């Protein structure tokens, strides 16, 4: 690593560390962490923005170098050979036949190599490991981060060890195994798998990709904001709806725009809306509260079903500092939103991703979206990853003998 390319700054105490003095959480703040509340001491990656501005005058300069100046690695060739990010942004003008009075963009991150947004984080963690000759990476996951790390590691010839709650959706478990990773199903929750993977890191020395615990997960996810800024011709959207579980994707979104703001490449931050399921709202419900209270989560949106949001404190800081908003939607609204999205746009999103769309629909219904405003919904994963939830609510027609008479009966 180029000395001084970046430093870590603790979200909680503000202490700065060189990249050699810290790797995961702030050593000071994490000392008293326990497994019943969100961890303290999540680190943020800070660059020498003044120096970068002097060398690179505009966005195209950054882009030409594949944003290496704003990444904690030295050589871009250590990134996976797969196409990560650069996902499409679609504009939708109608919903259910009605013309929308505002502009709506959908960022389709199901188009990543393993079909979820998580590839942005896995790619950077994998590149860092490759650059530092680390061969084994472990992660705890509700499914998507695990299948993502497994796929990215397969492309980089690295060993991935994935700890998942045994109830994770089958498609994600199959993906992990197909990519050749070692899967460890855990009898327990995601939170218990998370804690086990950290113990494994201490015991076996494996590099840990756990979300927020590894600061590069947030850093990797910020690339979405660089893309959005460019795709929207640097007209910063009025609102970005983001599905929230641990609070890492939303922090990544903020971090990307924050980097651009620090470099004077944009003039304001967007309003980011944190959308959670009402059945897994431990992040938004605790914002601004003195004592963190956990309500066990039980949402159909498994990717954002989290009891202890691992990036709670950083997310809270971002939301409070930049005028972010929060909302919850019911599981019924999530499933309904998933159907509305698919039928109106041809984009089939998993329930977690549909949660963000449901949040936008809820804002729309409540008259909270200004006419002519520009809004983005982040679609974080493919619907094919979790069809079991939908199987329960869909009605599959009975099969027919292949005669034209039977068809006539259907269409009469
Ligand atoms: Zn600290």
| 412 residues of the chain, pLDDT tens digit each | 677 899 999 999 999 999 889 899 999 999 999 888 999 999 999 999 999 999 887 999 999 999 999 999 999 999 999 999 999 999 999 999 999 999 999 999 999 999 999 999 999 999 999 999 999 999 999 888 999 999 999 999 999 999 998 888 788 889 999 999 999 999 988 888 998 999 999 999 999 999 999 999 999 999 999 999 999 999 999 999 999 999 999 999 999 999 999 999 999 999 999 999 999 999 999 999 999 999 999 999 888 988 999 999 999 999 999 999 999 999 999 999 999 999 999 999 999 999 999 999 999 999 999 999 999 999 999 999 888 888 888 888 999 999 999 999 999 8
pLDDT of residue 340: 97
pLDDT of residue 144: 87
pLDDT of residue 25: 96
Residue with tokens 């599905």: 243
pLDDT of residue 189: 84
Q: How far is the CA of 6 from the centre of ligand 1 (A)?
A: 17
Round to whole Å and give the CA distance between 389 and 380: 17
Rounded alpha-carbon distances, angstroms, from residue 305 to 101, 128, 197, 280, 301: 33, 28, 18, 6, 6
Chain-centroid distance of CA 203 in Å reads: 28
pLDDT of residue 380: 97
Q: Which residues surround ligand 1, an ion (CB under 5 A)?
A: 10, 12-13, 15, 26, 28-29, 41
- Are 18 and 27 in contact by the 8 Å Cβ rule? The answer is no
Q: How far is the CA of 28 from the centre of ligand 1 (A)?
A: 5
Q: How far is the CA of 27 from the centre of ligand 1 (A)?
A: 7
Residue with tokens 């060189």: 18
Round to whole Å and give the CA distance between 335 and 354: 7
Instruction: Give the single-character DSSP code of 90.
Output: E
Chain-centroid distance of CA 296 in Å reads: 21
Q: How far is the CA of 148 from the centre of ligand 1 (A)?
A: 29
Q: How far is the CA of 9 from the centre of ligand 1 (A)?
A: 8
Q: How far is the CA of 39 from the centre of ligand 1 (A)?
A: 11
Q: How far is the CA of 199 from the centre of ligand 1 (A)?
A: 21
Q: How far is the CA of 85 from the centre of ligand 1 (A)?
A: 31
pLDDT of residue 190: 83
What's the pTM value of the predicted model, to 2 decimals? 0.96
Please state the φ and ψ torsions of residue 254, each to the nearest 5 degrees.
-60, -45
Angle, vertex CA 244, rays to CA 102 and CA 213, nearest 5: 140
pLDDT of residue 273: 98
Round to whole Å and give the CA distance between 292 and 283: 9
Round to whole Å and give the CA distance between 337 and 358: 5
pLDDT of residue 234: 96
Q: How far is the CA of 384 from the centre of ligand 1 (A)?
A: 40
Q: How far is the CA of 14 from the centre of ligand 1 (A)?
A: 6
Round to whole Å and give the CA distance between 205 and 138: 10
């Amino acid at each position: 690593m180029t000395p001084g390319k970046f430093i870590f700054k603790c979200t909680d105490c503000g202490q700065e560390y060189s990249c050699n003095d810290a790797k995961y959480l702030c050593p000071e703040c994490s000392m008293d962490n326990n497994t019943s509340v969100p961890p303290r001491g999540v680190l943020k990656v800070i660059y020498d923005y003044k120096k970068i501005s002097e060398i690179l005058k505009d966005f195209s300069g950054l882009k030409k170098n594949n944003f290496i100046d704003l990444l904690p690695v030295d050589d871009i060739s250590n990134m996976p050979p797969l196409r990560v990010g650069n996902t499409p942004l679609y504009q939708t003008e109608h919903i259910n036949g009605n013309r929308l009075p505002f502009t709506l963009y959908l960022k389709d991150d199901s188009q990543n190599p393993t079909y979820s947004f998580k590839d942005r984080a896995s790619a950077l963690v994998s590149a860092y490991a490759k650059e530092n000759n680390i061969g084994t990476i472990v992660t705890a996951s509700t499914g998507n981060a695990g299948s993502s790390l497994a796929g990215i590691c397969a492309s980089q010839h690295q060993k991935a060890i994935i700890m998942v709650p045994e109830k994770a959706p089958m498609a994600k478990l199959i993906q992990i195994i197909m990519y050749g990773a070692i899967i460890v199903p855990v009898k327990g929750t995601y939170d218990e798998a998370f804690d086990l993977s950290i113990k494994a890191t201490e015991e076996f020395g494996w590099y840990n990709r756990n979300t927020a615990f590894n600061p590069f997960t947030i850093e990797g996810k910020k690339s979405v904001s660089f893309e959005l800024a460019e795709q929207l011709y640097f007209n910063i959207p009025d609102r970005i709806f983001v599905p929230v579980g641990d609070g890492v994707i939303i922090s990544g979104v903020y971090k990307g725009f924050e980097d651009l703001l620090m470099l004077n490449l944009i003039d304001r931050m967007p309003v980011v809306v944190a959308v959670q399921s009402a059945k897994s709202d431990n992040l938004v419900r605790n914002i601004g509260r003195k004592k963190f209270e956990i309500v066990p989560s039980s949402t159909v949106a498994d990717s954002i079903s989290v009891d202890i949001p691992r990036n709670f404190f950083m997310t809270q800081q971002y939301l409070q500092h930049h005028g972010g908003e929060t909302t919850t939607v019911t599981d019924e609204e999530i499933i309904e939103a998933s159907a509305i999205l698919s039928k109106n746009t041809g984009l089939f999103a998993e329930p977690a991703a549909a949660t963000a769309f449901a949040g936008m629909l809820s804002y729309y219904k409540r008259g909270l979206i200004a006419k002519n405003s520009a809004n983005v919904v982040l679609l974080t994963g493919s619907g094919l990853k979790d069809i079991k939830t939908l199987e329960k609510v869909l009605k599959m027609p009975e099969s027919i003998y292949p005669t034209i008479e039977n068809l006539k009966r259907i269409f009469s």
